[in-house]
Amino acid sequence: MARRAVKRRELPSEFRATAPTRLDFAGGWTDVPPFSAREGGVVVNGCIGLSARVDLKLGGALIRLVSEDLGQELECADSRGLVLDGRLDLVKAALRMFPVQSACTLTTRSDAPPGSGLGSSGALDVALVAALAGARGERLSGREIAEQAWYLETVEAKIPGGKQDQFAAALGGFQRLTFRDPDVGIEPITLEPAFAAALERQTVLCYTGRSRVSGATIARVMGAYERGDREVTGALQAMRDVAHAMAEALRASDLARVAQLVSANWRQQQSLDAEMRTSEMARLEQALAQAGALGGKAAGSGAGGAMFFITRDDPRPAIAAAQEAGATVLPVHWTSDGVRAW
């Protein structure tokens, strides 16, 4: 038996994971407590091919953390150096939560630009959990990865937020997610293939610059809700109602209705905070409206980042208008794949 034992050098030493980002079609912000706990939230989102990626290599003399897209790198002798100090805190928190052997190189990168509002931090959470769990020999379901990823970001890394990004990244595809903390309901939305292709072709995704949404913004919005602010409370309730209608519009392959609801959600979202719509976003909206866009909204929490627009049959005028307005147009390809680890 001793002769047949697996030698240390024969054990896997490299682990990888990828997880997709998402477009928030309706209901974002209603997954954030205390609203999600007291009244229940609903979010409809769809995953796109822009992904977060994690590479873990065991071994070496130090713990080495590398963020390729942020251009940041740091090293420490052991886990005692994984102090949350504003530098790669999410990655540090992941290694503290899922410790592997002391020496390793953990490299992360994201296809989405920083602060895009596409749920890239949630996708990174999910990829980190999947890769590190794999290195520890743990098998987790998609739901378990999503829950652990949310805990990683909000509790361990102390970054407030809801759960939609982690569940989207773990599950993939289009989802109608319901939130009544601590429970999350999962309801996949299957799009008719021809409609999915048309929606993909007629969705123009534009990056306006890093989102300015912060923990302070979230605290301000939810603080207003807790105080009983009628405008904020009414907006959150209306966005939840829009999400219910959005799920039905997607199932019915009603593109015009989807565009209408996207805009309805964005109008309510702007009522949450005075800084929700930046001057760059306003300029982009005006340009796309003049180019014939049917509707549009922030791709995520707002206050900068990315916006997406539903266009008429030919998206080229809208794409040209977005570029002329100074936005970067990003690719949109729906993906049914959630997190993958190997």
Residues 6 or more apart whose Cβ sits within 8 Å of residue 205? 23, 48, 299, 306, 307, 308, 329, 330, 331, 332
From the CB of residue 192, how many other CB atoms can be counted at a distance below 10 Å? 13
**Partners of 204 in the β-ladder:** 309
Shortest CA distance to 219 belongs to which of 88, 33, 57, 25?
33
The residue written with tokens 């990315």 in the block is: 306
The structural domains of the chain, with segments of one domain joined by +, span 14-190, 193-330
- Asked if residue 19 lies in contact with residue 51, where contact means CB atoms within 8 angstroms, the answer is yes
Give the sheet arrangement for strand 295-298, strand by strand: 295-298, 306-310, 203-207, 328-330
Q: Per-10-residue mean pLDDT for the chain, 342 residues long?
A: 49 92 98 96 98 97 95 94 95 96 93 94 98 97 98 94 96 98 97 98 96 82 96 98 98 98 98 94 97 96 94 97 97 98 98
Shortest CA distance to 218 belongs to which of 145, 261, 159?
159
Supply the pLDDT for residue 212.
Answer: 80
Fold agreement between 14-190 and 193-330:
no
**Partners of 73 in the β-ladder:** 66
Residues belonging to the chain: 342
Supply the pLDDT for residue 10.
Answer: 63
Shortest CA distance to 262 belongs to which of 311, 222, 221?
311
From the CB of residue 88, how many other CB atoms can be counted at a distance below 10 Å? 21
Q: Hey, what CATH class is 193-330 in?
A: alpha beta
Residues 6 or more apart whose Cβ sits within 8 Å of residue 248? none
- Asked if residue 17 lies in contact with residue 148, where contact means CB atoms within 8 angstroms, the answer is no
Tell me, rounded to whole angstroms, the distance of Cα 251 from its chain centroid: 22
The residue written with tokens 């999600």 in the block is: 36
Element (H, E) at 226: helix 215-226
Supply the pLDDT for residue 110.
Answer: 97
Shortest CA distance to 109 belongs to which of 54, 177, 167, 187?
54
Identify residue 11 by its one-letter amino acid code: L
- The pTM of this model reads 0.94
Supply the pLDDT for residue 255.
Answer: 98
- Asked if residue 77 lies in contact with residue 58, where contact means CB atoms within 8 angstroms, the answer is no
- Asked if residue 329 lies in contact with residue 319, where contact means CB atoms within 8 angstroms, the answer is yes
d(CA 24, CA 22) in angstroms, rounded, equals 6
Looking at domain 14-190, which CATH architecture does it have?
A: 2-Layer Sandwich (3.30)
